[in-house]
Amino acid sequence: MPNAILDPTGGTRTARSSVRRAPRRDNLSGSTVGLLINTKQNALPFLEEVGRLLIEDYGAAGVKAQTKINFAQPEPEEKVKEMAAGCDVIVTGIGDCGSCSASAVADGVAFETAGRPAAVICSDAFRATADAMAELRGAPGYRYATTPHPVAVLTPAQVKDRAAGVVADVVALLTDG
């Protein structure tokens, strides 16, 4: 089987390149940024700081935050559609373990399929997991932002610094600019 990969649900699938990136914005001016926050330690303050910086430094109009039902599972389709309907772009994460990195990438691919540019943030220790999920979801080579591992143990000041360090990558993932 060409390009066969293991499916973590128990089967095998053939990698496919069927997922296309959603159209990008020229910039984030006036946009509503969706923040899909998993329940991992420090994910909430990390993404809140990313959202604040997107408003303050990049002209986003505001953020709408939603908490994931389960950090280790992709968000249900109805939740993806609901969030995509109310937001111009989506930022999700933070993937700070194998299962949450994989599910964050699965969510990013789902938002792209729903027509919304998505920026997934994972810690750098879980690139292999994130890449495997992207391939499994039909988006080999899917681009996401990384931050040094770990995030869960950071102090509030370190979380803000880490968020500031990744925000330019997030903007690059969401825009053509």
Count Cβ atoms below 10 Å from residue 161 Cβ, excluding itself: 12
**Looking at the domain assignment, is residue 2 inside a domain?**
no
Q: Cα 91 vs. chain centroid, distance in angstroms? A: 5
For 115, the domain range is: 27-174
- CATH number for the domain including 78? 3.40.50.10350
**Looking at the domain assignment, is residue 1 inside a domain?**
no
pLDDT tens figures, 59-84: 999 999 999 989 989 999 999 999 99
Model confidence at 14: pLDDT above 90: no
Looking at the structure of the chain, the number of domains it has is 1
Average pLDDT, the chain: 91
**Looking at the domain assignment, is residue 48 inside a domain?**
yes
**Looking at the domain assignment, is residue 110 inside a domain?**
yes
**Looking at the domain assignment, is residue 135 inside a domain?**
yes
